[in-house]
Amino acid sequence: MNEKEFADKLKPWLERAAGQVGEMQATRLKSARLRALDAYREPVRLLGLVTVSGGTLQELHYSIVQRSLLWLPILALLTALTVMSVSEPDLGELDVELLTQELPPDAFLDKDLRSWLGKTGV
């Protein structure tokens, strides 16, 4: 008797053993199956290119949302800093230069500088 023949003769016994699992186990297996089917999600076609499992997509969506929420405070902080740095005028630097007298004296004789100072309201 070769391997396959032996296995073929053994298989019905194994099938019978599987058919005789206890009532309690059979009930639990059935409820496990029903729970699994509750978790089944229809496959979704993405951009008409790839088909992914609904569960995978849901998981992906969840992780993207979760990550976005994690990045949100950092993004808000960076935005605030950027806005602050942009809204801050260069007048401060000019004041500092004036006060430390790093600006050459000729600069105060320059008409354009005066007109520029007038425009900016300094």
Partner 1 sequence: MGGASRFATISREPGPLSRRRASLATKKEMSDFLASVERRAFKQCVYSVHDDEAALDIVQDAMMRLAEKYSDRPPTELPMLFQRILQNAMRDHFRRTKVRSTWTTLLSNMGLGGEDDDADPLETLGVEDQGNIPASPADRLEQGQVMAAIEEAVRGLPDRQREAFMLRYWEELDVSETAKVMGCSEGSVKTHCSRATHALAKVLRSKGITL
Supply the minimum distance, in Å, between the C-beta of residue 58 and partner 1.
Answer: 9
Q: In this complex, which beta carbon is closest to partner 1, that of residue 48 or of residue 118?
A: 48
Q: Which residues bind partner 1 (CB under 8 A)?
A: 1, 3-4, 6-11, 13-26, 28-30, 32-33, 35-37, 39-43, 45, 51-56
| DSSP secondary structure of 28-80 | HHHHHHHHHHHT----EEETTTEEE-HHHHHHHHHHHHHHHHHHHHHHHHHHH
Choose between 27 and 120: whose C-beta lies nearer to partner 1.
27
Nearby residues of 55 by Cβ (< 8 Å), 6 or more positions away: 39, 40, 41
Residue 48 or 73 with smaller CB distance to partner 1: 48
Least CB distance to partner 1 at residue 76 (A)? 34
Structure tokens at 18: 């599987």
Nearer to partner 1, 58 or 103 (CB): 58
Shortest reach from residue 12's CB to partner 1, in Å = 9
Four-residue CA torsion sign, 57, 58, 62, 68: positive
